[in-house]
């Protein structure tokens, strides 16, 4: 394995607290189950890429039984997310990672189309001399960010969740004078039409079945 750490940011799959825009379609329990499967897929993808250390940064903390399942089944090192907004939590994660490793990738769990090949491409870009790599999302955000160094200006004052996140991040990278690479544009699963797209893609059945292991474990207890 290389010396790249892959960090996955994830919330505990608690009904009513995750995938809330899909609750009218799936119900609170169904939306939480989908979230768990997406987390499982993101971890399986990161493990398949085999880049190095795999960390699961947990919210609100690392004590939820689901995170224990993730540690056992995917070899993820659990860490609580820092306090504050998303930017502050990302900044803390990158600062800690880059103090130890030369390269760090951060992904969420909303983009099942993000594959191991994308993670490898991101690492290759950083190995090739880029300071940063971005995985653009169709909604104007990004599904991956990778860095060899960090700066508070990449996170402070960003309107996270808006459609200008990617454009603003590009502007800040230019201002820093950093070189960066962009992956192909992918899509998140946030709304009912995204869920229908996920079903049609075939990823749900083929790639997310691992998430049902946690559900079966709960039922057997």
In the chain, where are the structural domains located?
A: 4-212
**Among 54, 153, 147, which residue's Cα sits nearest to residue 99?**
147
- Which whole number is the average pLDDT over 182-192? 97
- 54 three-class SS: strand
- pLDDT number for residue 208: 45
**Beta bridge mates, 77:** 55
- pLDDT number for residue 202: 86
Q: Is the peptide bond before 60 cis (omega within 30 degrees of 0)?
A: yes
Give the Cα-Cα-Cα angle 110, 199, 135 (nearest 5 degrees).
30
39 within 8 A of 8, measured Cβ to Cβ: yes
- Which whole number is the average pLDDT over 95-124? 98
Determine the Cα–Cα distance for residues 24 and 35; give it in Å rounded to an integer: 15
- pLDDT number for residue 203: 85
Instruction: Work out the pLDDT band at 207, boundaries 50, 70, 90.
Output: very low
**The pTM is what?**
0.92
- Which whole number is the average pLDDT over 160-186? 97
Instruction: Work out the pLDDT band at 209, boundaries 50, 70, 90.
Output: very low
Sign of the dihedral defined by the CA atoms of residues 201, 203, 205, 211, in that order: negative
Of 29-38, 130-139, 165-174, least confident by mean pLDDT is 29-38
Q: Which CATH number fits domain 4-212: 3.65.10.10, 2.170.150.20, 3.90.550.10, 1.10.3720.10?
A: 3.90.550.10
Give the tens place of pLDDT for each residue, 50-66: 999 999 999 999 999 99
**Among 134, 108, 102, 121, which residue's Cα sits nearest to residue 39?**
108
Determine the Cα–Cα distance for residues 24 and 178; give it in Å rounded to an integer: 43
- pLDDT number for residue 213: 54
Give the Cα-Cα-Cα angle 186, 35, 10 (nearest 5 degrees).
80
Average pLDDT value over all residues in the chain? 93
Q: Which two tokens stand for residue 122?
A: 């991101």
């Amino acid at each position: 394995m290389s010396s790249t750490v892959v960090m996955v940011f994830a919330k505990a799959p608690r009904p009513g607290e995750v995938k809330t825009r899909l609750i009218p379609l799936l119900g609170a329990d169904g939306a939480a189950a989908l979230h768990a499967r997406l987390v499982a897929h993101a971890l399986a993808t990161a493990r398949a890429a085999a880049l190095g250390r795999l960390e699961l940064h947990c919210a609100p903390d690392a004590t939820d039984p689901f995170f224990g399942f993730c540690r056992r089944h995917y070899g993820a090192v659990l860490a609580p997310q820092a306090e504050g907004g998303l930017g502050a939590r990302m900044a803390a994660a990158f600062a800690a990672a880059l103090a130890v490793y030369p390269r760090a990738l951060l992904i969420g769990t909303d983009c099942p189309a993000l594959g191991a090949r994308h993670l490898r491409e991101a690492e290759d870009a950083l190995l090739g001399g880029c300071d940063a790599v971005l995985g653009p999302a169709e909604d104007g955000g990004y599904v991956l960010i990778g860095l060899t160094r960090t700066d508070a200006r990449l996170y402070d004052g960003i309107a996270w969740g808006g459609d200008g996140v990617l454009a603003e991040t590009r502007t800040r990278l230019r201002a820093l004078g950093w070189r960066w690479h962009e992956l192909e544009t992918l899509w998140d699963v946030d709304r009912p039409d995204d869920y229908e797209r996920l079903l049609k893609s075939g990823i749900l059945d083929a790639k997310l079945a691992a998430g049902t292991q946690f559900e079966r474990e709960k039922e057997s207890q």
